[in-house]
Structure 1
Amino acid sequence: MKFEEIKKVFAQNISDLYEESESRFMFQLFAEHILGWNTIQQRQFSDEEISEEHERKFRYIISELKTGKPSQQILGETEFYGMKIFVDENVLIPRPETEELLEIALQKIQSSGLKIQDMKILDIGTGSGIISLVLKKHFPEAVVYTVDFSEKALKTARKNAEFHQTDIHFIHADYLKYDLNQTFDVIISNPPYIGMDEKTEIADSVKDFEPAMALFSPTSDALIFYRKIAEDAKNYLKKNGFIFLEINQKLGNETLALYEKDFTEAKLIKDLSGNDRFIVVKK
């Protein structure tokens, strides 16, 4: 089969799932992944025959996409903050909002006057490790600790850390039952914050393929992680230290209220879509 023919087969089979422009972009990604051809080469070699093995790979990808499986999981990787990140069914696929969280954190830390050398950072609920990776890349002299309840997620996070040659301290623990034993300059988290009553609002492609543990609050209290972070920070966040949180947009004021009393500053910040999405706290 010629390359141009498999391209048409791909488009025809997923036309009811994706917009034309998205379908075209996805095919380019998969073609580069399978054949090693960039977009220019894909145009140059459109009349080239592809092997039966390559055709089978394309058809397998089509069958996986038709189940609703995210393209990032099929590829086994995605890009986040300009970095190649390995992903699988055990970790969340990185969202643009988390890039916004990191932009806020980087700017605040850089302008804070905090001593960067030996600065201690705690990332709660690391998943694929993206938050820890970006912070370690920008602050290589910092000591970064990250905690997650999922051993499988930590395996993926370690893979990412090794790929990017970053030294991160991984802790396998249920944070809600975990007692901190040292102080930190920065606490950052994108914890499970979707309430159980919101499950029907979540797209099937997310619910069916991404880990529920990383999406939904483990109890009827959607703020349970934020309550523990607030309590821990009273004793284990250093003076002038920061907390950076990604939050449930429906619970902005309720989440903010957990931090307004015991800390010097607590601000609710909107994301680029205008939703209450982040909280920044200074002690």
Structure 2
Amino acid sequence: MPSVPRSSQASRALRRSQSTRITATKFECAAQAHLLAQKRRIPLATKYNVNSNVTAASTKISLPRALSRPVLGEVETSSLVGAYPDLAGIPAEYIRDRLALSRPKMRAALQAVEISISKSTLPTELGILMNEVVSFACPTHMFAVYNDAPIPVGHKRQISLFPIHDLVFGMHCTNLPTLPASRPSSSSSHTTVPVVPLRLPSPATFSLLHAYLYTQQPATLLASLARPCETDLLQLAAHANKIHGLWRNACLLGVVDAQLYDVIEASWESTIAAMQACS
């Protein structure tokens, strides 16, 4: 049998070695791809905390990737014409722009409001103590904000009171409930305004929407919705719930303000990205 030159044997051994390494590399890449695919399908779950009884296996968080922007029409001004006859025939967008001149006085009046309440049950009217600041732009109504979540036996439902001006909310909300007539007096030491029960998905975040409608400052709202620096998934989830609550309130009331939804969407995307990074 003819002998094979050593150079040919070495060449064949080298090719077999290269082929083995290529095959091994392919298997390794395939395994990594399979592992990454599995990770992409894993739902968000809390990391284990040695100081907590909650583990990743027992707590899962399911959130939408994006918050859809509601399709809204323009507000109807007819419901406000009775209280403000001069607004008849004027476009709502123009009225919103003109409100910028009155907002500083309105905000100052809201901050100076002192509520007089002596009943254990929610009345249909509430007294407001008048002073020089309040009299310049006295609120017209009092929102009693609540939700319909179940409450323990023996407990009372929590209600938060917010003084408001019908013109501000009426010009920004397409789904606002009909507000009763209100004629606050500016001459006496106190006045009464109607109480309007307002059921919302997230009463805890209504203060953000209330403040925004009176300031119209997206940068301030964005700062209020800045996500926490911590990488704890539970804290990020709580922050996401805050943004989601504001969004749900705005959608339910039909708030007409593109900049509001711009801020909500930007804050949501940032928070969801942070949650994915630490999950």
TM-score, normalising length: structure 2: 0.23
TM-score, normalising length: structure 1: 0.23
Q: Report which of the two has the higher share of strand.
A: 1
Query: Highest Rg: 1 or 2?
Result: 2
